Each structure stands twice: as structure tokens, then as C-alpha cells.
């Protein structure tokens, strides 16, 4: 499909100077995502010339040693030296146990040193906690005790802010999330807390609001009168890999549904906010989550992958107990009790070691009410579908019914496909989600970050499922496949088209 981009309202803002500290700087997340994203922001001139990056890890290492380590990261190893050198000059390193007073004092001293060397002594600060969740509160308490989280002014427009970024999971159930929130709010205000969900940084997910509220053709039909069902799918071909310890404690419901799945659901189903401002958007997301009909455990299916297709089973993975009942697949049907969505089913499913890697949102429209075409019933014509692909190739597809050139009457589905990569400049690549999220954190824009009330509402909705799964033994499915029970069940429902090939 030929696409012409006629964009004329393009806005990007370069943040003021700041010092970003990454705790867990030698970890997997920092190496795969954070430092490559920061370099790309630097290369796009979206990282202020006076900004600096401090890595904090447990392994003893000098500044130059850490810079050499960053240079060898898989995403950066092939970058020309001329491009890497200016970026590495703004990188520093501190070794030590994050929870020891001497390490925090050393961090304060290094922040002062880096600020003087980079010319940003009075700059803002970001503390990115890429560490184990049980370290969140103790680390925040240490930083607060050292005065590193205090802002010199209380105004929302304060130019010397202190932001703290938290990776999921934010708690492991409703009580633990509430306890963590209570502890953090003793030292931070809500506007200082950035709970990150990298799915919200993906281009297709960001575009949901523009698609719905900037295009007249969609919003009038975005309701129960025209939409038959909505499906949100996140399927992965990989197993637990290096996350066995965390994943076996969490399970698929906690790992995917409480955050990614319900956040995408909120963007698809929420009402139009009064403005494109962080709290107005998050108000509507919270209102949507409050409208969810209480979860029915009978509408929940759990699975666990077993050996198959040349792949080992979950119980054979390193670090997994041989008697584990942790789910690696979950399928859930839910409903929203409001005027827009009454009686429209939403199908959410996600799993590991499935037959394909795919994340997408499918809007299934209803059949036409009456067919004027001789010999063709309205049910013979495929209903329209809007498919929003989040990965692997971000884009969208609108399926229409059209006539095939030739015979007098030969009609069938026609897909209008679009990929966001097709409108990039030559040599330009799709932005990574962490680029957008890190930049927004520097700009003080919380639109794509979770607010405390939506975190609580998501946990509250899932509590019945978390309780029910303690009594449910997950059904085995061969690795590299889709659970047959789910497939056969949903094929009986006309609206479960996401199980069929596009």
C-alpha cells in the first residue's frame, strides 16, 4: 500500500539539563534497553549537551572501565567511535551496595562532581531503579535520607525536580502495591513517581489516542452499536529464559495482565479526555478500570507449556521447581459495564512458548444488517476488522469488503495495510519504546506512566483471578503451539477471529 505522509504538526522538545542515575547499570535491562535508548536520544540531539548519565552497580569498575563496557553492548558495539566518544564523555560510574550509606554518600559526591564537569550543577535529577522490586522502598529511603530526593521548590513548574523511575512489577497483589505506595509517598509526591510500562511507549499504542480522537470516521462507530468484540493478544515464542526466578513467583497474570494488557485495554475503551494532558488521560483510564465488571473465574483459562516441537517444557527450564503450577498462558474474557460497551466481550490472552510472536489489538465490527446482493446473505460477508499491530512490525490494517476486478459479482475481504516504518526517512529506524519514555521523564510528562490509582484498580480487578489460580492446575500445551482448549473454545465464538490467520 502506497503511503504519503503529510505531517505538518510535528513537535519535539529537548529537555533542560539533568543528571540521570541508573541503579542496576550492569544488569540486563540497562544493557539491552536503557543505554542504547539514551545513546539514540543523544544522537537525535534530544539529550541536552550538559546532561550526564551515572551508572551505579555492584561490580568494582572505574569510569573508563564502565565506558568501555557500554561501548561493547550489542546495540552499540558497531557504532563508529566518532559518534560514541561524545556520548561516553558524559557517562560516569559508581560501584557499591545501593543500600549502604557510604554508597549513597558517594553518589551525592559524584553527582556534584559530574554536575561541575558537565556544567549542570543546579540541574534536575532522575533516579532509575532498574533493580529488584524488593529494593525499591529501601533504596528510596536511603536516597531521601541523604537529601537526594528533596526539590528546592514545591511548584509543579520547579526547574530543579527529582524524578524516580520504577520498573514493573509494582507490587505482587493489591495489599503489597498499597503498602509500597504508602511507603513511597512518605518520601515522594505522586508527580515525582514514574511507574514505567514499556508497552505504552510503543508507537502503535501511543497512536491509539490519535486514531480514535483525531479521526472523525472512528469515534462515531467506537461503541456497542457497531463493535461486536475486541481482542488483545500478546503472544511470545520465547520461554522464561533468564527470568526464571522472577517469573515462577509472578506468573503470566501478574507479569502481563496487571500492566500491559489492562493498560492497552484502557486506551482502547476509555472515554475521550477533555484535553491531551497527563492527568486528564489518566483520569479516563481510571474511570474505565472502575467500570470493569467483576472478574468471573469461570472465564479464566490458564496453561503451562510442556515439551514439544523440539523445545523443553516449563518444568525442565533451569531454575524452575519440578512441581511448579505457575501459568505461562492466560486467556480471559471480560466486560465493561458502561453505556459505550455494555455486552461487548473483550478477549485478552497472552502466553509464552506459543507458535508465533505477535502483539496486536483487533476491533471486530458487527455484520452488516442486511445484504442487497443476490444470493449472498449478510452473514456470508466477513465483518470489518481494524487490526492494530504492536509487534513485530508496528502498524495497522483495516479490512473491508470489496469487489474483485473481473466477474460481475465477486466480492470478498480486502486489507488496507500500513506499517509505521514505511513513512520514516531513508536510514531512519523505528524509535524504541524506552526512548520515548526516558525523554518524557526528562520533560516531566507523565502521560505514558502509570498513576497510583490505576495500579490499585488493576490489582483489585485481578484479585479474584490470583485467588482462583491457587486452586487451578494449568492445562499443559506443547511448546511452540497454541493451547487447543482455548482455540477450540474461542472458535465456537464468532468474534474470536484472532485465532485465525489474517
- Residue-level pLDDT at 7: 55
pLDDT on residue 154: 63
Asked whether residue 77 carries a pLDDT value surpassing 80, the answer given is: yes
Q: Is 260 a catalytic residue?
A: yes
Tell me the average pLDDT across 405-425: 83
24-58 pLDDT, tens digit each: 999 999 999 999 999 999 999 999 999 999 999 99
Q: DSSP letter string over 262-277?
A: HHHHHHHHPPPPSSSS
Question: Where among 163, 196, 229 does a domain terminate?
Answer: 196
Q: Strand order in 329-334's β-sheet? A: 411-419, 395-403, 385-391, 358-365, 227-235, 346-351, 329-334, 300-306, 475-478
424: in domain: yes
Predicted local confidence at residue 169, as pLDDT:
86
Q: What percent of the chain has pLDDT over 70?
A: 93
Contact 459, 173 (CB under 8 A): yes
User: Mean per-residue pLDDT for 77-102?
Assistant: 96
Is residue 191 exposed (0-12), middle (13-18) or buried (19+ Cβ within 10 Å)?
middle
Region of 225 (left: φ > 0; alpha: ψ -120 to 50; beta: rest) is: alpha
Has residue 403 got a pLDDT over 90?
no
Q: How many domains does the chain have?
A: 2
Kindly indicate the confidence band of residue 423, based on its pLDDT and cuts at 50, 70 and 90. Answer: confident
Do both 177 and 207 map to the same domain?
Answer: no
What's the rounded Cα separation, in Å, for the pair 489 and 475?
14
**Residue 350 pLDDT more than 50?**
yes
Domain final residue pick, 196, 221, 238: 196
89 with 155, same domain?
yes
Q: Which residues of 221-243 are buried (b: 16+ CB within 10 A; e: fewer)?
A: ebeeeebbbbbbbbbbeebbeee
pLDDT at 408 over 80: no
Q: Say if residue 217 is in the same domain as residue 340.
A: yes
CA atoms of 384 and 368, how far apart (whole Å):
9
Burial of 308 (0-12, 13-18, 19+ CB in 10 A): middle
Asked whether residue 352 is domain-assigned, the answer is: yes
What's the pLDDT score for residue 198? 92
118 pLDDT above the threshold of 80: yes
In angstroms, rounded to a whole number, what is the distance separating the alpha carbons of residues 263 and 234?
13
Q: Is the pLDDT of residue 494 over 50?
A: no
- Across 433-459, average pLDDT: 95
What's the mean per-residue pLDDT of the chain? 90
- For residue 281, being part of any structural domain is answered with yes
pLDDT(11) > 70 = no
At 241 the pLDDT is 85
Q: pLDDT value at position 327?
A: 96
- Mean predicted confidence (pLDDT) in 373-401: 90
Report if residue 438 sits inside a domain: no
Among 196, 213, 233, the domain boundary falls at 196
| pLDDT confidence of residue 501 | 35
Domain region containing 141: 18-196
With a cut of 80, say whether residue 490 has pLDDT above it.
no
Whether residues 188 and 209 fall in one domain: no
pLDDT in tens, 104-113: 999 999 999 9
Q: Are residues 276 and 169 in the same domain?
A: no
Lowest mean pLDDT among 3-12, 92-101, 318-327: 3-12
Among 79-93, 302-316, 399-413, 469-483, name the one with the lowest average pLDDT: 399-413
The answer to whether residue 436 sits within a structural domain is no
Least trusted range by pLDDT, from 30-34, 119-123, 146-150, 197-201 = 119-123
Residue 135 lies in a domain: yes
Decide which of 493 and 416 is more confident. 416
How would residue 384 be classed by pLDDT, with cut points 50, 70 and 90?
very high
Burial class (CB in 10 A: 0-12, 13-18, 19+), 218: middle
Cell numbers that stand for 344 in this block? 461487548
The answer to whether residues 120 and 137 belong to one domain is yes
Same domain, 163 and 230: no
Question: Which pLDDT belongs to residue 157?
Answer: 57
Cell digits of residue 474: 494449568
Look at the block and give the residue holding cell 502483539. 359
Looking at the fold, whether 227 and 309 belong to one and the same domain comes out as yes
Whether 361 and 461 share a structural domain: yes
Please give the order of strands across the beta sheet that includes 162-166.
91-95, 52-57, 18-23, 124-129, 162-166, 193-196, 449-450
Q: Which residues contact 390 (CB under 8 A, 6 or more apart)?
A: 199, 202, 204, 205, 234, 264, 359, 360, 361
Summarised one tens digit per residue, pLDDT across range 179-211 is: 999 999 999 999 999 999 999 999 999 999 999
Range name among 105-119, 246-260, 365-379 with the lowest pLDDT average: 365-379
**Residue 9 in this model has a pLDDT that exceeds 80:** no
Strand pairing class (329-334; 300-306): antiparallel
Residues 172 and 213 in one domain: no
If pLDDT is split at 50, 70 and 90, which confidence band does 502 have? very low
pLDDT of residue 482: 84
pLDDT reading at 170 higher than 80: yes
Question: Which residues neighbour 407 within 8 Å (Cβ) at sequence distance 6 or greater?
Answer: none
pLDDT of 498 above 60: no
- For a pLDDT cut of 90, what percent of the chain falls above it? 77
pLDDT band at 488 (very low <50, low <70, confident <90, very high): low
Instruction: Look up the CATH number of the domain holding residue 401.
Output: 3.30.360.10
With cut-offs at 50, 70 and 90, classify the pLDDT of residue 486.
Answer: low
In a domain, 273, yes or no: yes
Q: Is residue 100 situated within a structural domain?
A: yes
358-365 and 124-129 strand pairing: unpaired
What's the pLDDT score for residue 426? 77
d(C-alpha 195, C-alpha 446), whole Å:
9
- The closest alpha carbon to 134, from 250, 227, 44, belongs to 250
Q: What's the CATH code of the domain at 129?
A: 3.40.50.720
Write down the pLDDT at residue 18. 95
Residue among 63, 182, 260, 367 flagged as catalytic: 260
In this structure, the answer to whether residues 164 and 220 fall within a common structural domain is: no
- Asked if the model's pLDDT at residue 300 lies above 70, the reply is yes
Looking at residue 25, what is its pLDDT?
A: 97
Copy the grid coordinates of residue 16: 533542560
Same domain flag for 315 and 166:
no
Helix (H, G, I), strand (E, B) or coil at 207: helix
Amino acid at each position: 500500500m502506497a503511503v504519503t505522509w503529510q505531517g505538518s504538526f510535528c513537535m519535539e522538545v529537548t529537555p533542560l539539563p539533568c543528571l540521570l542515575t541508573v541503579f542496576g547499570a550492569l544488569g540486563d535491562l540497562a544493557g539491552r534497553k536503557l543505554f542504547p535508548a539514551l545513546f539514540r536520544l543523544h544522537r537525535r540531539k534530544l539529550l541536552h549537551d550538559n546532561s550526564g548519565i551515572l551508572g551505579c552497580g555492584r561490580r568494582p569498575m572505574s569510569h573508563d572501565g564502565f565506558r568501555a563496557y557500554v561501548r561493547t553492548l550489542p546495540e552499540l558495539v558497531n557504532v563508529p567511535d566518532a559518534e560514541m566518544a561524545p556520548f561516553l564523555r558524559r557517562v560516569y560510574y559508581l560501584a557499591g551496595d545501593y543500600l549502604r550509606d557510604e554508597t549513597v554518600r558517594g553518589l551525592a559526591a559524584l553527582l556534584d562532581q559530574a554536575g561541575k564537569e558537565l556544567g549542570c550543577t543546579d540541574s534536575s535529577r532522575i533516579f532509575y531503579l532498574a533493580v529488584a522490586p524488593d529494593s525499591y522502598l529501601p533504596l528510596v529511603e536511603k536516597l531521601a535520607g541523604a537529601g537526594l530526593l528533596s526539590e528546592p521548590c514545591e511548584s509543579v513548574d520547579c526547574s530543579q525536580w527529582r524524578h524516580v523511575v520504577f520498573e514493573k512489577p509494582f507490587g505482587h497483589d493489591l495489599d503489597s502495591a498499597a503498602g509500597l505506595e504508602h511507603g513511597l509517598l512518605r518520601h515522594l509526591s505522586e508527580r515525582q513517581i514514574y511507574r514505567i510500562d514499556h508497552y505504552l511507549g510503543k508507537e502503535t499504542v501511543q497512536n491509539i489516542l490519535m486514531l480514535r480522537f483525531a479521526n472523525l470516521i472512528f469515534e462515531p462507530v467506537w461503541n456497542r452499536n457497531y463493535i461486536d468484540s475486541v481482542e488483545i493478544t500478546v503472544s511470545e515464542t520465547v520461554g522464561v529464559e533468564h527470568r526464571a526466578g522472577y517469573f515462577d513467583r509472578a506468573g503470566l497474570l501478574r507479569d502481563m495482565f496487571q500492566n500491559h494488557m489492562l493498560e492497552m485495554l484502557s486506551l482502547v475503551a476509555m472515554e475521550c479526555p477533555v484535553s491531551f494532558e497527563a492527568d486528564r488521560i489518566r483520569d479516563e483510564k481510571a474511570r474505565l478500570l472502575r467500570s470493569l465488571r467483576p472478574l468471573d473465574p469461570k472465564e479464566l483459562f490458564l496453561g503451562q507449556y510442556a515439551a514439544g516441537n523440539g523445545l523443553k517444557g516449563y518444568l525442565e527450564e533451569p531454575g524452575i521447581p519440578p512441581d511448579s503450577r505457575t501459568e505461562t498462558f492466560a486467556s480471559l474474557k471480560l466486560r465493561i459495564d458502561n453505556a459505550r460497551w455494555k455486552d461487548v466481550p473483550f478477549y485478552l490472552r497472552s502466553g509464552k512458548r506459543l507458535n508465533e510472536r505477535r502483539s496486536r489489538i483487533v476491533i471486530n465490527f458487527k455484520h452488516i444488517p442486511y445484504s442487497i446482493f443476490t444470493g449472498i446473505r449478510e452473514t456470508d460477508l466477513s465483518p470489518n476488522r481494524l487490526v492494530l499491530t504492536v509487534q513485530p512490525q508496528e502498524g495497522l490494517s483495516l479490512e473491508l469488503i470489496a469487489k474483485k476486478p473481473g466477474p460481475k459479482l465477486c466480492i470478498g475481504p480486502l486489507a488496507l495495510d500500513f506499517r509505521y516504518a514505511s513513512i520514516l526517512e531513508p536510514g531512519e529506524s523505528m524509535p524504541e519504546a524506552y526512548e520515548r519514555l526516558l525523554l518524557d521523564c526528562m520533560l516531566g510528562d507523565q502521560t505514558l506512566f502509570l498513576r497510583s490509582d490505576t495500579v490499585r484498580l488493576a490489582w483489585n480487578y485481578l484479585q479474584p483471578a490470583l485467588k482462583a489460580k491457587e486452586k487451578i492446575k494449568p492445562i499443559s500445551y506443547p511448546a511452540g503451539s497454541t493451547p487447543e482448549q482455548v482455540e477450540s473454545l474461542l472458535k465456537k465464538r464468532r468474534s474470536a477471529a484472532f485465532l485465525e490467520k489474517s
